[in-house]
Amino acid sequence: MAEERKSIHGTWSSRWTFILAATGSAVGLGNIWKFPYMAGDNGGGAFVLVYLACIAVIGLPIMLGEIMIGRRGRSSPANTMKALAVEANTTPAWSLLGATGALAGLLILSFYSVAAGWALSYVFNGFQNITAESSTTSFNDLLSSPTSLIFWHTLFLSITVFVVARGILDGLEKWINTLMPMLFVIVLLLCLYATQSGAFIQGIIYLFQPDFSKITPEVMLEALGQAFFTLSLGMGAIMAYGAYMPANQNIGKTAISVAALDTGVALLAGIAIFPIVFANGLAASEGPGLVFVTLPIAFSSMPLGVFFGTLFFVLLSIAALSSSISLIEPGVAWLIESLKIKRITATLLLGFVAWFLGLFSALSFNLLSEFTIFGKNFFDATDFLTNQIMLPLGGIFIAIFVGWVMKKENVLEELDVEENFIFKFWYFSIRYISPVMVGCVFLYFFI
Ligand code: PFF
């Protein structure tokens, strides 16, 4: 009986908590930092269109699948996959999917923590008398200082380890409950400011008017990878959280809420940022520094800007924290279950690995900038490997597992639905549309 199974790591105290925790995982640097700069790098509207299509057609069905697998298995992704494979009378080697997911999580965490460190350091920016030029210089100064980057990276990762070591079920809930809505309000406020910037319409057109000639294989792969990244899919984060989900919660509605909130925040961030970019004569294709260069200019020229600027970067850091927690949790839960070690030991161990790898990402902007892998520095190479390859590939296998390996009656039982039209539609997407589309984007890109 589904009602009686519980994870040894605990259960979220209410339905609302799962939505908050999953939204906390989904909404993070991916929405506010990465989405705008990727849109800017890839020509705006065309990228946004493909991204939205990937979320709706591929991301949402897979998210539902991941939550469902997690709740049915009630363990870490690796052990969940093993248990469900055994239930379906196939090879337990499916647990490898959970293991590679945990590895992807660590790799992402290593560079995510470096970028989250930038957000932390901007809490102390001051936000006064900032021009386009001085803002660009301060960001470049930060990147060129190995000690600052390592300091902030270390601080951010230590906070992550501290929270995860205490157990993510208590504590986390209260925080996300109030802080996530606050971040939402500040982003809305920035949108309001953007309407006054003088280039609002230009920003909106850039973001929403697709130039179809810009849809290349690269843009498609980047948009696909970003869809997985922003929804925290393809590596078991949402699966691990699903394991702590109450048995009586509706998975479909939950997945839709999380995906909608996440997409909303990303679009609002874009609406806030691009008008400021154009009004200040900055380049949309500024790259990873886009948010860090543009927003301080906005804060320094708005009333109460010091207050709002500081608060914004505090909240952004916390949004990053609620995501980084979910990057390390699949590995931590797995180590606890498999090696029977304490949560604190498991967290310290994996935290150390992520921290160590992160050093190379931090140094790739300065001392190691000459060191490249396929023409990318270490930071970008790790980003490419995880987001554009590992997550979509993980997504294909999750879709295949749900659609072809699990018994249909078990899927129906876990989702607690009849075989109605919506179910059939979703089942068809996860069996055919999601894997085939991800496969096509891969083929298109690599061939
Ligand atoms: N979704 C997070 C963000 O948008 O910032 C990042 C992330 C968290 C990616 C967890 C993957 C993951 F498993």
Q: What is the pLDDT of residues 19-35, one digit of tens each?
A: 888 999 999 999 999 99
> What's residue 168's pLDDT?
67
Q: Is the CB–ligand 1 distance for residue 105 below 6 Å? A: yes
Has residue 220 got a pLDDT over 70?
yes
State pLDDT tens for residues 350-399. 999 999 999 999 999 999 999 999 999 999 999 999 999 999 999 999 99
> What's residue 35's pLDDT?
97
Q: What would the mean pLDDT of 331-341 be, rounded to a whole number?
A: 93
Q: Give nearest CA residue, ligand 1 atom 12.
A: 232
> What's residue 98's pLDDT?
93
Q: What integer best gives the mean pLDDT of the chain? A: 92
Percentage above 70 pLDDT, the chain: 97
> What's residue 172's pLDDT?
64
DSSP annotation string for 103-119: HHHHHHHHHHHHHHHHH
Q: From the CA of 229, how far away is ligand 1's center (Å)?
A: 5
> What's residue 18's pLDDT?
84
Has residue 169 got a pLDDT over 80?
no
Q: Is the CB–ligand 1 distance for residue 26 below 6 Å? A: yes
> What's residue 3's pLDDT?
47
Q: Which of 327, 303, 250 is nearest to 18 (CA)?
A: 250
Q: What would the mean pLDDT of 279-302 be, rounded to a whole number?
A: 91
Confidence label for 445 from pLDDT (cuts 50, 70 and 90):
confident
Would you give the distance in Å from CA 215 to the centre of its chain? 23
Longest dimension (CA), the chain: 66
Q: What would the mean pLDDT of 135-145 be, rounded to a whole number?
A: 96
Has residue 412 got a pLDDT over 70?
yes
> What's residue 310's pLDDT?
94
- Helices of type H across 250-375: 251-279, 290-301, 305-339, 343-363
Q: From the CA of 75, how far away is ligand 1's center (Å)?
A: 20
Secondary structure of residue 373 in the 3-state scheme: strand
Ligand 1 pocket test: which of 23, 25, 100 has the largest number of ligand atoms within 8 Å of its C-beta? 25
Ligand 1 pocket test: which of 232, 263, 316, 385 has the largest number of ligand atoms within 8 Å of its C-beta? 232
State pLDDT tens for residues 269-289. 999 999 999 998 889 998 899
Domains along the sequence of the chain with CATH: 2-446 (1.10.4160)
Which of the two residues, 247 and 233, has the higher pLDDT score? 233
> What's residue 2's pLDDT?
43
Has residue 105 got a pLDDT over 60?
yes
**Is the pTM higher than 0.75?**
yes
Beta bridge partners of 376: 373
**362 neighbors 38 (Cβ within 8 angstroms):** no
Helix, strand, coil percentages in the chain from 3-state DSSP, rounded to 5? 75, 0, 20
Q: From the CA of 327, how far away is ligand 1's center (Å)?
A: 7
Q: From the CA of 223, how far away is ligand 1's center (Å)?
A: 15
Q: What would the mean pLDDT of 305-319 be, rounded to a whole number?
A: 91
Q: From the CA of 109, how far away is ligand 1's center (Å)?
A: 9
> What's residue 173's pLDDT?
67
Q: Which of 117, 55, 14 is nearest to 262 (CA)?
A: 55
The amino acid at residue 250 is N
> What's residue 247's pLDDT?
84
> What's residue 184's pLDDT?
87
Confidence label for 15 from pLDDT (cuts 50, 70 and 90):
confident
> What's residue 428's pLDDT?
97
Task: Name which of 85-94, 166-175, 255-264 the model is least confident about.
Answer: 166-175
> What's residue 54's pLDDT?
96
382: buried, middle or exposed (CB in 10 Å: 19+, 13-18, 0-12)? buried
Has residue 177 got a pLDDT over 80?
no
Q: Give nearest CA residue, ligand 1 atom 11.
A: 232
> What's residue 246's pLDDT?
85
State pLDDT tens for residues 43-98. 899 999 999 999 999 999 999 999 999 999 999 999 999 999 999 999 999 999 99
Q: Which residues in 338-350 are b (16+ Cβ under 10 Å) and which e?
A: eeeeebbebbbeb
